[in-house]
Structure 1
Amino acid sequence: MKVFKFGGASVKDAEGVKNLVNVINITGEKDLLVVVSAMGKTTNALETVVSHYFSNPSEIEAAVISVYEYHFEILQGLFPASASEVFADVKELFKELKGFLKRTKSKNHAFVYDQVVSYGELVSTAIVSAYLSEAGIKNTLLDVRSCIATDANYRDANVNWEATQERIGSKVSKKGITITQGFLGAENTNNFTTTLGREGSDYTAAIFAYCLNATSVTIWKDVAGVLNADPRFFTNTTLLHHISYREAIELAFYGASVIHPKTLQPLQRKEIPLYVKSFVSPLDPGTCVGKGVALDPETSCFILKKNQVLISLSSLDFSFMMENHIGDVFKWLHEYKMKVELIQNSAISFSVCVDNKYDTLEPLLAKLRSNFKVKWNEGVTLYTVRHSRPSEIESLVENKTVLLKQESRETVQLVVKE
């Protein structure tokens, strides 16, 4: 059995759904579990609904109607209006969503978020499953929440692997085609919907692959595979034909748009290969992440992060920066939700490059000033280069001010001011 995962971009409109069917037909796979994300930017639209629930309730209905109309347009592009039950099924799902928003009194943002945003996946899979049937492809629609058991850590739930393995083993047939939702689970106590956090749909595919002992996972994207650099910022990028599990995890750790480590971990444990392929050209080989050589071809990989903050600290009395000082710094970085991208320390100084995603720089700096001399640079760029050549680094820093450089055997990191 194989696992396919289709992201939101692949099913953003009626043509996308038709192409999903085309991919299944072209690949000729008969025993499949297909994980489908919410269509297009539906998750963003439902996040707006959540925002209105907490701050502007009068706008909830209009926001929900907008999401419904988007899906209704896709339905009209796929089915004769009077000939399919899926119109009623989708309308019922939106009725459920409206009912939850009217009933609930919860002030727990993460809980409300998971209950609302989940309807993106529930609606998309209802449409995809119905269209597969319309196209003559027999399939089973599975509610993933009956399979993936989690704790109640809403928005970033942890999987109960023992319960999940048991449920998937009893509910999923290894024969035929099964359609299910990405990103979602259900907590054990009250069976409320949970979501799995960043790259949750990819993770869903890996969970099913692990529990079903699948032969492979394929993630279908609008690109040819994994490139050695982001083509928005670098020219002459190279398609990577093969990446080892370890190398993929390293690249993801430094911020590359490869595959999230939590997706790779269950696959690595059973040595299940993961493919990243183009849904535009489904017969092209794409990229394989699996056991074997670190990189094919052997080439440098470039990762760029803009709008970072470099903070440099030194002790007030020129004493050594000891473990207790650094421990305090990390405690405060965690408290102010700063994602640490790079650290460097010497006897009397400590530097850290962070992502000020939650706009908490000012209170963090105020906290740090009470214990340290503080210097900082905002709007800096962090380059991470794996397997680099000296000439590439020289070219990279040309006409830039290098504020910090750190080098190990396989990785060079540079904080620069453009």
Structure 2
Amino acid sequence: MQVLKFGGTSVANAENINKVAAIVKKAVSKNKTVVVVSALGGVTDMLLQAANNAARGSEDYKQAITEIEKRHFDAVKSLIPVAHQSQLLSLVKTSINEIEDICNGIFLLSEITPRTKDRLASYGEWLSSQIIAEKLRFDQVDVQWKDARQLITTNSNYTQAQVNFEATQANIVDYFNSLQQSLCIVPGFIASNADGITTTIGRGGSDYTAAIIAAALNAEILEIWTDVSGMMTADPRLAANAKVIEKISYGEAMELSHFGAKVIYPPTLQPVMTRNIPVWIKNTFAPEDAGTLVLNNERSAAQSDGNIIRGISSINSLALLSLEGSGMIGIPGFSKRLFEALSNEQINVILITQSSSEHSICVAIDAGKADAAKQAIDEAFANELALQKVEPLKVETDLSIVALVGEQMRSHPGVSGKMFSALGRNGINVRAIAQGSSEKNISAVISTIDVRKAINVLHEDFFETTFKQVHLFIAGVGNVGSKLLQQIEKQLVSLQQHLKIKINVIGISNSRTMVLNEKGIALDNWEGELKQGEKASLPLFVEHVINKNLRNSVFVDITANPDVAAIYDRLLQKSISVVACNKIAASSDYANYKRLKDLAREFNCKFLFETNVGAGLPVIGTLNDLVYSGDEVLKLEAVLSGTLNFVFNNYDGSRPFSDVVRQAQEEGYTEPDPRLDLSGTDVMRKILILAREAGHEMQMEDIGNNGFLPQECMEGDVEAFYACMHRHEAHFKQLLDKADAQNCKLKFVATFNEGKASVGLQHIAPENDLYHLYGKDNVVLFYTLRYPSQPLVVKGAGAGADVTASGVFADIVRAASI
């Protein structure tokens, strides 16, 4: 004997019922079968809504009844040959007339009772089962229809009737022992009390009906046919990479069902669990899919796929109630009175947590019951409130529960640590925690706005061993930004293969337009997408980054814009890592620099700015390694401007100094405003950043600058700057001649020594380490306790779009690896 149950979506219309008929005929050919069916999809809701409208005095209920009639008529006319429709259509019409009479009565009385609700709701399953049975008869299947009200006996707790299992068992066994047919169709959800009055066994009760029958008959298997291919590791609407669970234990399935996985109705498993009857969840619309097999714990564990966690689920629309007070400590009875007050209001407690100090108790309930709960608890503790032994009840809303479920967690330490670490890295605050002694479930209360992110973060950590998804937002796509996007596109496959990282560029903005796409921007057509984007707005771009609340988000600033640098703190406080090519933030007021570093630590993200000094050279990384390993920087000597090194390496007096500077700008070595380079301001920022990273509290004004530009050249715009340099060519030629006379080269050098920093043009002799520095190269000499006389040297190209982009790319990978 086998029992098959088909849900509302499986029997929603004639097309779907034909699919069900095909599955049933195949099943009957192998074994004697009981089929339990739900109402046509949505009909039960329509019936109850019609009742509610009638009770409110609204005649809209008539329209709902008309729609219900049409849906059933359409099904009959599509499934049954015309010559044989009349009897079934007459049965449907009689039922519709009864529904209308009941609703008319409700309308006249302006009230509806639970008993009337059950009577009205029962028509959905009653009609669908009659239609399906008749369809199978015309398909030459030996079928018998049986009213579940004659099989399942309950008490009179209407809408949530409790089953009398002893009487029900006897009814089912007696009936099926005498049944001659190979197939029996039974309506789900409905039952009757001892007086034969219609009752229902709760929403989702068709699953329960099937389980009750399967248990009574000790069936070989219970198949639950629905619109998905089994239970999944997470809600596929929230986690795109959710997978079907091949096998799962009864306990795990019940936990997942309780915590929002609506594939199966939670009480379903109770009757079959006691009989060790496997439950197979299958997809009506993809019957060849393997589905999920629910087994007892031992059989499930023996055939485990190796995953400690079986699934991740959630419950939304929760409120957290917190009862606190010093008067609770050591006084018995507070918990009893709290739960008693909730019980009296028929309020179900979903999660409980209590501090070991007994100073507070937190419970999570349905948010819709929060006001009633507060009133009941305040009344129960009125005396303690008056005496200030307890504080007024705190009610927090807009909360959800995210739960990890798995039988094997009890034997694997570190699961909860991994869970909370993953949530913390992504800025998801946990408001309350609960874990039973069975260690089958770890639940965390979080903000509802974080549910999607939390589900994806946890699913990625526990199930997606293939790669980690990183969401990238890029501000600034000029020379460096465009090279970065090219490099990312080229390395996408390699990153997934070797580092298990998948980079998804979600947002791109320049000064004119921006494009935002949560599914990802095509890197082979990002320029086209950006041209078609909306008008650029930094506030809107940042709001998008924050409001999308995507896991593993990284914001990349490849601008020189102070407004962009000013929003880093907002991003870091949302656990969004910041990669900055822009030097403004790291060289701003020391208090701001330190605050940004502290925010990154506090909110478990990264603030990285390797390219602030030396483009793609590992200057800051090397300095950090020295300091973190306990070394101390005694002195720094460096040529930190690729622009100035290029200029002085190429200026030989044969052409104007201004022409060489313009060449540097055209080749992409200078800042957008080359005066920042030639004035020494950019180098001052760089040595300031290095001094700070070495552990020194310094400000920009603490750095000396021995400049070489005539002051008047700093006035006006960029073109005026070039014109002024051209007029002062004799000045620049004189600087070159003095250096040549001493057999020296001109280098713009930054130094840090004994807590003091300065920058300026120097004559560098051939024996100096800075002499042999060509093209646009940079060099940094680290004199430390470990390298006191022979410095640690970092040397290489310190300017250029390609190398700078590679440095930004490296920081993105570092940020993604936390």
The answer as to whether partners of 2:57 and 2:110 remain within 8 angstroms in 1 is: no
Q: Which runs of 5+ in 1 are unaligned?
A: none
- Matches of 2:110 and 2:379, distance apart in 1: 33
Q: Which residue of 1 aligns with 2:9?
A: 9
- Matches of 1:170 and 1:234, distance apart in 2: 47
Displacement after TM superposition at 1:145 (Å): 0.8
Q: Percent identity?
A: 29
Q: Which residue of 2 aligns with 1:333?
A: 342
| Higher deviation after alignment, 36-45 or 53-62 | 53-62
- Matches of 2:369 and 2:128, distance apart in 1: 31
Q: Which residue of 2 aligns with 1:96?
A: 98
- Deviations 1:312-360, CA, capped at 9 Å, x for gaps: 1112x54416441111111222233433221111221111122223463
Q: How does 1:106-255 map to 2 (within 5 A)?
A: 109-172=113-176, 173=179, 175-189=181-195, 191-255=196-260
- Matches of 2:232 and 2:277, distance apart in 1: 21
- Deviations 1:373-415, CA, capped at 9 Å, x for gaps: 1223210221111244644442334122222234454432222
- Matches of 2:117 and 2:265, distance apart in 1: 22
Q: How does 1:19-418 map to 2 (within 5 A)?
A: 19-27=19-27, 28-56=29-57, 58-84=59-85, 85-102=87-104, 109-172=113-176, 173=179, 175-189=181-195, 191-257=196-262, 259-291=264-296, 292-294=299-301, 296-297=304-305, 298-300=307-309, 301-315=311-325, 317-320=326-329, 322-346=331-355, 347-358=358-369, 360-361=371-372, 363-364=375-376, 366-367=378-379, 370=382, 371=385, 372-373=390-391, 374-386=393-405, 387=409, 388=415, 390-397=417-424, 398-407=426-435, 409-417=439-447, 418=450
Displacement after TM superposition at 1:162 (Å): 2.2
The answer as to whether partners of 1:267 and 1:273 remain within 8 angstroms in 2 is: yes
The answer as to whether partners of 2:189 and 2:204 remain within 8 angstroms in 1 is: yes
Query: 3-state SS of the aligned residue for 1:240?
Result: coil
The answer as to whether partners of 1:338 and 1:356 remain within 8 angstroms in 2 is: no
Displacement after TM superposition at 1:255 (Å): 4.2
Displacement after TM superposition at 1:271 (Å): 1.3
- Deviations 1:274-294, CA, capped at 9 Å, x for gaps: 110111222332111122124
| Higher deviation after alignment, 290-299 or 324-333 | 290-299
Q: Which runs of 5+ in 2 are unaligned?
A: 410-414, 451-818
Displacement after TM superposition at 1:154 (Å): 0.5
- Deviations 1:164-212, CA, capped at 9 Å, x for gaps: 22222232327511111000101112x1110001321111001111222
Displacement after TM superposition at 1:97 (Å): 2.6
Aligned length: 416
Displacement after TM superposition at 1:101 (Å): 4.2
- Matches of 2:328 and 2:11, distance apart in 1: 59
Match for 2:10: what amino acid? S
| Higher deviation after alignment, 280-289 or 143-152 | 280-289
The answer as to whether partners of 2:51 and 2:103 remain within 8 angstroms in 1 is: no
The answer as to whether partners of 1:185 and 1:195 remain within 8 angstroms in 2 is: yes
Displacement after TM superposition at 1:15 (Å): 0.4
Quickly say closer, same or farther: Cα 1:257–1:99, change in 2 above 3 A: closer
Quickly say closer, same or farther: Cα 1:232–1:174, change in 2 above 3 A: farther
The answer as to whether partners of 1:90 and 1:123 remain within 8 angstroms in 2 is: yes
Match for 2:304: what amino acid? D
- Matches of 2:205 and 2:290, distance apart in 1: 24
- Matches of 1:406 and 1:103, distance apart in 2: 48
Q: Compute the TM-score of the two structures, normalised by the length of structure 1.
A: 0.91
The answer as to whether partners of 1:240 and 1:296 remain within 8 angstroms in 2 is: no
Displacement after TM superposition at 1:95 (Å): 2.4
Displacement after TM superposition at 1:369 (Å): 6.9
Match for 2:314: what amino acid? L
| Higher deviation after alignment, 329-338 or 109-118 | 329-338
- Deviations 1:262-282, CA, capped at 9 Å, x for gaps: 221211222111110111222
User: Where is the strand percentage greater, Structure 1 or Structure 2?
Assistant: 1
- Matches of 1:321 and 1:46, distance apart in 2: 52
Query: 3-state SS of the aligned residue for 1:239?
Result: coil
Higher relative contact order (CA 8 A, sep 6+): 1
- Deviations 1:218-241, CA, capped at 9 Å, x for gaps: 000111111121112223222211
Quickly say closer, same or farther: Cα 1:358–1:56, change in 2 above 3 A: farther
- Matches of 2:263 and 2:304, distance apart in 1: 15
Displacement after TM superposition at 1:45 (Å): 0.3
- Deviations 1:93-137, CA, capped at 9 Å, x for gaps: 222333444568795621010000100011101111111112222
Task: Give 1 or 2 for the bigger CA radius of gyration.
Answer: 2
Quickly say closer, same or farther: Cα 1:332–1:135, change in 2 above 3 A: same
RMSD (Å) for aligned C-alpha atoms: 2.4
- Matches of 1:159 and 1:218, distance apart in 2: 21
- Matches of 2:396 and 2:105, distance apart in 1: 48
Displacement after TM superposition at 1:367 (Å): 3.7
- Matches of 1:79 and 1:41, distance apart in 2: 22
Displacement after TM superposition at 1:144 (Å): 1.0
Quickly say closer, same or farther: Cα 1:100–1:322, change in 2 above 3 A: same
Displacement after TM superposition at 1:213 (Å): 1.9
Match for 2:256: what amino acid? L
- Matches of 2:194 and 2:433, distance apart in 1: 47
Displacement after TM superposition at 1:68 (Å): 0.7
Quickly say closer, same or farther: Cα 1:11–1:308, change in 2 above 3 A: same
- Deviations 1:21-55, CA, capped at 9 Å, x for gaps: 11123444451110000001001100112213322
Query: 3-state SS of the aligned residue for 2:317?
Result: strand
| Higher deviation after alignment, 142-151 or 338-347 | 338-347
The answer as to whether partners of 2:255 and 2:441 remain within 8 angstroms in 1 is: no
Quickly say closer, same or farther: Cα 1:198–1:44, change in 2 above 3 A: closer
- Matches of 1:356 and 1:367, distance apart in 2: 19
The answer as to whether partners of 2:159 and 2:202 remain within 8 angstroms in 1 is: yes
- Matches of 1:78 and 1:25, distance apart in 2: 15
